Amino acid sequence: MVKIILRNQEFEVRPGMTLKDALRQCAILPESVIATRAGEMITEDEILKEGEVVKLIAVISGG
Amino acid sequence: MKCRKCGGKAAINMPQHHLGLCREHFLEWVPEQTERFIKKYRMFTHEEKVLVAVSGGKDSLSLWDILHRLGYRADGLYIALGIDGGVNYSAESQRLTEKFAAERGLTLHVVSVQEQTGKTVPEWAEATRRGRQKPCAVCGLVKRHEMNRIARDLGYDVLATGHNLDDEAAVLFGNTLSWSREYLLRQGPVLEERDGLARKVKPLCRFYEREMTAYALLRGIEYIYEECPYSVGASSIRYKELLNQLEHDQPGAKLAFYLNFLEARAQGLFAAPEDKPVELHPCPNCGQPTSAPGLCSYCRMVEKSQESKV
């Protein structure tokens, strides 16, 4: 499985799907996050592989 | 996805521009675009002294980094608000800002609200009707007052803030929902100097918040990731989420919303050309401009609090 982490939330998706599809499955808008894998930023067309961990950085701030 | 410039692996995709860029070219593109916006909106020149309001967040630290790289005379101003919220919020923001400035040899002015007024922002919020529901209104008032005071007292030509396009679109959305004509008339990349108010500029106003996050990450800028504890449930965040949903279905919608607003306003949609701006006069206590008769909002807040102690 592939682990997706956003702040204190964790999701798991099947390997072989794109980041775009993984975010859709987790109900996360790609516009609201930056995705990193092993410290590198990745784009939505990236295919996720077994055992990978994708860390999402939330971009919205304000008040 | 490939970088449009070199064909290497893209680090970011910006669908609203049909543009993907690698790390190296994105880090070139952001300052180039910033320079373009500074010139397009006639924000300031290389000869002028710029005061950058820095909070320790990704936008303001990135703005300071960019202006420094572009060779502008930009110093920083950090206002210590005294917010803890169980996460040491202000202290950590200040630490990161001071670290950023020290690493680059930049001049940073630090103003403590508690030292200036005897209370932190949450304490002011508790003490006044303005902030009883939420300290954000008091926080905004104190920050505007202090930013203008420091810019004026230290002789800066312009005050720059790190507002990005998502910030601007969210404010515009809120003001449009309520048709707040006065606010709509004032919103823009530049608020000209008048009657003792420093010129205010927003050089990042055409970058998406996502792009500024990417810039900070790729540039290795250490910023405060935690949200202000008082921003939970803020309407600006709700508007940003709504606008991102729209952007998802219709790439470029946020940018078009803001740019078309600026265009419509320039063509007089919100005001007849003969409309006069609200008259300002100096506050008899602090000397800063105010539209209210007598004391400005800031001094009224301080005075009321002192009265209630007696």
Closest Cα in chain A to B243: A31
Question: B310 pLDDT exceeds 60?
Answer: no
Sign of the CA dihedral B25, B254, A7, A62? positive
| A36 lies within 8 A of chain B by CB | yes
The pTM (predicted TM-score) of the whole model is 0.93
DSSP state of B17: G
How would residue B23 be classed by pLDDT, with cut points 50, 70 and 90? very high
Whole-number mean pLDDT of chain A? 95
- List pLDDT tens digits, range B196-241: 889 999 999 999 999 999 999 999 999 999 888 888 888 999 999 9
Q: What's the CA gap between B89 and B74, in Å, rounded?
A: 25
For chain B, say whether A24 makes contact (Cβ under 8 Å).
Answer: no
Q: What is the pLDDT of residues B161-182, one digit of tens each?
A: 999 999 999 999 999 999 998 8
Q: Which residues of A touch B170 (CB under 8 A)?
A: 62
Which residues of chain A lie closer than 8 angstroms to B1, CB-CB? 43-45
Alpha carbons B213 and A62: distance in angstroms, whole number: 13
Query: pLDDT of B101-118, one tens digit each?
Result: 999 999 999 999 999 888
| B166 neighbourhood in chain A, CB within 8 Å | 60, 62
Report the residue of chain B nearest A36, measured CA to CA: B11
Q: Do A44 and B13 touch (CB under 8 A)?
A: yes
Given a cut of 90, is residue B268 above it in pLDDT?
Answer: no
What 8-state DSSP symbol labels residue A47? B
Q: For residue B97, what are the contacts with CB-CB under 8 A and spacing of at least 6?
A: B54, B55, B56, B61, B76, B78, B108
Amino acid residing at B101: A
What pLDDT does B227 receive?
85
Beta bridge partners of A11: A4
Could you tell me the two tokens for B189? 């990349």
Instruction: Please give, rounded to a whole number of angstroms, the shortest distance from the CA of B143 to a CA of chain A.
Output: 13
Q: Among all residues of chain A, which has the CA nearest to that of B10?
A: A43
What pLDDT does B274 receive?
60
Determine, for residues B136 and A63 on separate chains, whether the beta-carbon distance falls below 8 Å. Answer: yes
Q: Give the pLDDT score at B308.
A: 62
Return the closest-CA partner of residue B43 out of B149, B154, B140, B161. B161
The rounded percent of chain A whose pLDDT value lies above 90 is 94
The length of chain B is 310
Reported as a pLDDT band with limits 50, 70 and 90, residue B305 is confident
For residue B287, the model assigns a pLDDT of 87
| The token pair that represents B193 in the structure block | 């100097």
| Tens-digit pLDDT profile for residues B237-263 | 999 999 999 999 999 999 999 999 999
